[in-house]
Structure 1
Amino acid sequence: MAGTVLERFLADEAATARLGEDLAMALRAGDAIALKGDLGAGKSTLARALIRALADDTSLEVPSPTFTLVQSYDTRVPVHHFDLYRLSAPDELDELGLDDALNQGAALIEWPERAADRLPGNALWVGLAEQGEGRVARLSGLGLVFERVARSLAMRDFLATAGWGDASRRYFVGDASARSYEIVALPDQAPRVLMNSPRLVLGPPVRDGKPYAVIAHTAQSVTAFVAIDRALYAAGVSVPAIHAQDLDQGFLLIEHLGSEGFLGHDGQPIVERYEAAAELLAMMHGKAWPTRMEAAPGVFHDVPPFDREAMLIEADLLVDWYVPWITREPANDELRDGYHKEWNAVLDRLAGSEYTLMLRDFHSPNIIWRAERSGLDRLGIVDVQDALIGPAAYDVASLAMDARVTVPPEIERRTVAAYVAARRAAGAFDEAGFTEAYAIMAAQRNSKILGIFVRLEKRDGKPYYLKHLPRIRDYLRRALAHPALAGLKEFYMAHGLLKERVP
């Protein structure tokens, strides 16, 4: 098999099972893993561990498919376990449905040599052979599946350097970026979170020779997370403690703050939690924050400004992605010019607004509720790497108009009122200026999100974000109701930007 080869010595069955977990954490729909080895080489142990990790069920029955030839599992990534030992000819793979299996999930294939040349060219090959008291695994392949597996193995090596090499790994959560998170666990230890944050791929230039991420000041490496996390921690904000870090590779082993969120059992927002989060913002906005933060000795992160260029490139996502989606034709130059004219006039009104450390995505998916704690410590904050120095009102709008949760107008009002009350109690506060900045930032953020959610569907193949669009349009209508945004509202209405999609 051509391509790079990685070797792993597996001292015992537990090490073989850990390799199965490492493969499971890298697996995606469309991947094929070819397992080679003599009888007793450990193929079944490896396959069983991989499938159980995908199912997050250590007791899941995983019988050998020797007689059925294929066994399917409805796991996080659907996986189809093939055993080709009894295959008479490669053409029989058509009857077994290998192509269909790869279209809907991943395939794990024992005795792959019997398939001849019928396996995908980008399959990952895993060869197992006895070596001394244990066995050796040789992994080879080409393309993205091999790259993902190599990174997963590097994550296991990172865990080993942190004293967590024997930990179990389970998928925790991913987000709209390339970052992903796992829960890692050892007996008699509190579970921790393994953060996988590859360096940002900047993409092509979109304006003035600069990529979108550079203009919007999106964090390019995990250094930003570490520096901002440490600054927040020192200021009394409950963010994850960092137990181990590899800034070059983008790996962190961090505290697991919990999993309870801001919704009740009925799926509705709990107003008291939104009010508490608003009070936390008020505390943070009363502090002075440095623009240079240290991630490691001699390694610093300069917190970028949320400047006009960044605000406009984000707002442009609406005309770049959302307008073509709702109207079924690209935005013309007249619409773009008018859009920019109205937005520049609105952003002029931010002059004199209060600027502070702005976390940018301060909403329910990134806030953990810890009922056993008291005061502001009840709120655990994650996903802080994209913080900027920007209008204080932005994070309040991000919270009160939660992109993933329908926040009724009354809960929005109470959330904002809790913030204003806490700021007043702390000293002088320009409520009128804040209210105007809140409307402007809410309009900017929700315009951006309309574009992002369509982009996630069109560019990234994530259609489930489209279900949020009606909520975001409603938030945008609320924001545009402020008198300072009358001209912008008129423009949106005149061009049908708040309507449903054209049939």
Structure 2
Amino acid sequence: MLRLRSKITDNKALCGARASIDQIGMIIMDSRQTALQAWLGPALRKTFADHDWGSPGSGELIAASADASFRRYFRWVDGPRTLIIMDAPPEHEDTRPFVKVAALLAEAGVRVPHIYASDVEQGFLLLEDVGDRTFLEAMQEGMLTEERQRLFRSAIDQLIAWQLSSRPGVLPDYDEAVLRRELGLFPEWFVARHLSRQFTDSEQDDWEALCSVLLQSILAEPRVFVHRDYMPRNLMAATGTPAVLDFQDALYGPLSYDVTCLFADAFFSWPAAERVAWVQVYWDKAQAAGLPVPANFDTFINQSRLMGVQRHLKVLGIFARIRYRDGKPRYLEDAPRFVAYLREACAADQRLAPLQRLLDSLELQA
């Protein structure tokens, strides 16, 4: 009798079970089970042959993680050897950006999971297993200061390597249209759906004034490759160099985005002073590496703050959409963290007075 066991990256239970290659249907009770079962066996055998690993055993399949998208991950275990299977239904997810960006990151010297086998038409990938302990989990467990220094300095170094490899015309542009579309998620999903109301005329005026302030700053920044979710939940505290995950949505956009994302995290609140100190570590290293950061740190932290406001508003909209469209309520539980970030930003920058009025009018408190 197979024993149920699962592990997901946000410590929430995901129904899963161990299974041999021939018993995959025991844990994937949907229309994709037959396709995955047919693909995985040959993919494993070819991967083992290509790498002189011998022949794969019967193995076990364990539900490994779930995220806010339609993707699912499974860990295949055969003694000491483990691999990860990504199941990305092609009607909802396109694996080609993942494959493309993985190659770009690897070329830049960033550690990402090696792709052993892929079927982009069916949405299956066989990946290197880079561990099951994220930076976020390590932080929630109370990692020692020395480990935090090592991990986050390494994360900054990898981010800078990624940015130094940037060039236009390779990734889609993170342009005004994309930024406005993201900002629009806040009134559409958080205000209209979650708060069950519409902006008043004065609130709409404040919203448009706020968007103008944000876009003017963001669009003036130098452009680099942007991961877009470079945060502790997507960084693995693996042995040696930490590994980077969830990079398929990368774009070519504002320089401050990823470091802002790293330290103004969606799932963990840094003390404000420590967050600023870490951004300065990045700024010092970026200057030394020749990245086009502003010569004055205060200018950069102001850019980062406005970039953060755009992201926090977007994420509030996304979390509301995930709750009401996709039936996943747990993400919206972190809404107070984002409201706290927004109110902190308002207190630091008078240009955000329209946002302050909006938060007060909507009665949003941290």
Say which structure, 1 or 2, has more relative contact order (CA 8 Å, 6+ apart). Answer: 2
Which deviates more, 222-231 or 345-354?
345-354
Q: 1:248, CA displacement in angstroms?
A: 1.2
SS in 1 for 2:81: coil
Q: 1-side partners of 2:153 and 2:351: how far apart?
A: 26
Q: Give the aligned residue type for 1:385.
A: Q
Q: Residue 260 of structure 1: CA displacement? A: 2.5
Residue 28 of structure 1 is matched in structure 2 by none
CA distance in 2, matches of 1:78, 1:196: 14
Q: Kindly provide the CA deviation profile for residues 284-311 of structure 1, in whole angstroms up to 9, marking residues without a partner as x.
A: 323333533xxxxxxxxxx211111111
Could you tell me how far 1:480 is from its partner in structure 2? 3.2
Residue 454 in structure 1 maps to residue 320 in structure 2: yes
Q: Out of 101, 123, 141, which is 1:267 matched to?
A: 141
Deviation at 1:326, TM superposition (A): 5.9
Counterpart of 1:196 in structure 2 is 87
Unpaired segments ≥5 residues, structure 2: 8-12, 49-55
Q: Secondary structure at the match of 1:407?
A: coil
Among 380, 383, 407, which residue is 2:243 paired with?
380
The aligned runs of 1:145-156 (5 Å cut-off) are 146-156=30-40
Range that drifts further, 447-456 or 170-179? 447-456
The answer to whether the aligner puts 1:435 opposite 2:314 as a matched pair is no
Alignment partner, residue 197 of structure 2: 329
Kept after mapping to 2: 8 A contact 1:400/1:407: yes
**Contact 1:436/1:484 (8 A) holds in 2:** no
Q: Distance in 1 between matches of 2:313 and 2:47?
A: 43
Asked if the contact 1:443–1:480 (Cα under 8 Å) also holds between the matched residues in 2, the reply is: no
Q: Which residue of 2 aligns with 1:391?
A: 254
Match runs of 1:308-319 below 5 Å: 308-319=176-187
- What residue number does 1:122 align with? none
Partner residue in 2 for 1:177: 69
Three-state SS of the structure 2 residue aligned to 1:55 is: coil
Kindly report the root-mean-square deviation, in angstroms, between the aligned alpha carbons of the 2 structures.
3.0
Asked if 1:77 corresponds to 2:15, the answer is yes
Task: Indicate whether 1:400 and 2:284 are aligned.
Answer: no
Equivalent residue number for residue 52 of structure 2 = none
Q: Which has the higher strand share?
A: 1
Aligned: 1:281 with 2:146: no
Corresponding residue of 2:10: none
Contact 2:163 / 2:224 at 8 angstroms: preserved in 1?
A: yes
Structure 1: gaps of 5 or more residues: 1-47, 58-74, 80-135, 202-219, 293-302
Cα distance in 2 between the residues matched to 1:419 and 1:251: 36
Alignment partner, residue 416 of structure 1: 279
Q: Residues 148, 354 of structure 1: CA spacing in aligned structure 2 closer, same or farther, 3 A cutoff?
A: same
Partner Cα separation in structure 1 for residue 38 and residue 200 of structure 2: 47
Do 1:174 and 1:181's aligned partners in 2 also have CA atoms closer than 8 Å? yes
Report the counterpart of residue 34 of structure 1 in structure 2.
Answer: none
* Cα-to-partner distance string for 1:127-164 (whole Å, 9 max, x where unaligned): xxxxxxxxx99x9xxxx954143344344354455455
Structure label with greater radius of gyration: 1
What is the CA-CA distance between 1:487 and the residue it aligns to?
A: 3.7
Identity of aligned residues (%): 27
1-side partners of 2:345 and 2:269: how far apart? 15
Change (3 A) 1:405 1:242: same
2:5 equivalent among 55, 61, 70: 55
1:426 partnered with 2:289: yes
Report Cα offsets for 1:447-494 as digits up to 9, x if no partner. Answer: 111122222222222121232111111122233344363344344345
Rounded Cα–Cα distance in structure 1 between residues aligned with 2:192 and 2:365 = 13
1:170 partner SS: strand
Give the partner amino acid of 1:499.
Answer: Q
1:150 maps to a residue whose letter is T
Q: Secondary structure in 2 aligned to 1:329?
A: coil
Question: Residue 186 of structure 1: which of 78, 91, 94 is its match?
Answer: 78
Q: 1:342 to 1:259 in 2, by over 3 A?
A: same
- How far 1:404 sits from its partner (Å)? 1.3
Correspondence list, 1:333-372, <5 A: 335-336=203-204, 338-370=206-238, 372=239
Superposition deviation, residue 343 in structure 1: 0.2
SS of corresponding position for 1:171: strand
What SS does the corresponding residue of 1:413 show, helix, strand or coil? Answer: helix
Match of 2:352 in 1: 486
Q: Contact 2:227–2:249 at 8 Å: present in 1 too? A: yes
Residue 311 of structure 2: which of 421, 445, 462 is its match?
A: 445
- Paired with 1:327 and 1:429, the residues of 2 have a C-alpha distance of 38
1:348/1:78 CA distance change after superposition, 3 Å: closer
Measured at CA, do residues 184 and 291 of structure 1 come closer, stay the same or move farther in structure 2, by a change above 3 Å?
A: farther
Is this contact kept in 1: 2:14–2:66, CA < 8 A? no
Compared with structure 1, are the counterparts of its residues 291 and 479 closer, same or farther at alpha carbon in structure 2 (3 Å cutoff)? farther
TM-score by length of 2: 0.81
Pair 1:360–1:497, CA change in 2 (3 A): farther
**Partner SS state of residue 147, structure 1:** coil
Q: Is the 8 A contact 1:323 1:497 kept in 2?
A: no
Please tell me the residue identity of whatever aligns with 2:86.
M
